[in-house]
Amino acid sequence: MEFEQVYKLYFKDVYTFLYGLSQNKAVAEDITQDTFLKAINNIHTFDGRKDIKAWLFTIARNTYYTEYNRQKIFSPYNLEDNVDDKTNVLDNLILKEQSILILKILHNMIEPYKEVFMLRFFGGLSYNNIGLIFTKTESWARVTYYRAKKQILEQMEGNNSE
């Protein structure tokens, strides 16, 4: 497969994942571009053991955290900037109040639950690919996602009863 095809196939997925992490369109766009630039410069290191989408998500995740730690300019959950954003993935699924609550819950969730949830929900990765990213099994990824989802639902129910 030519790299141009890879770009066309996975640009939106990588962008959506990074937008889910950063909650900032400009940051997501910049890091998505950096991700594909790094991928094209390092395509010789892709050995085919992972799915190319999982490989791109690994690059995107590492690039995001490197930039975040180096610059400390953007907050991964700057909720105020995106309350009225109509393209927000969560806003397409649930009410704005619930999406803000979910983002707050995700912000406080411990790893690896937060990242597995985001890879699956925002990135649409398969459990197998998530397992490959973490060098774990598909079952581990499935259980971790289920537990993260359960934590979110429990905390949302706790907030509704208050």
Structure tokens at 123: 């990135």
Amino acid at 9: L
Domain ranges for the chain, please list them: 3-161
Distance (Å, whole) CA 162 – CA 148: 22
Structure tokens at 144: 């971790």
Instruction: Classify 78 in phi/psi space as left (phi over 0), alpha (psi -120 to 50) or beta.
Output: beta
Structure tokens at 61: 């995740």
Predicted TM-score of the model (pTM): 0.52
Distance (Å, whole) CA 126 – CA 162: 35
pLDDT string in tens for the chain (162-residue length):
577 888 888 888 888 888 877 777 888 888 889 988 888 888 877 777 777 888 888 888 888 877 776 665 444 444 344 444 444 444 444 445 666 677 778 778 888 888 888 888 777 788 888 888 888 898 999 999 989 888 888 887 776 555
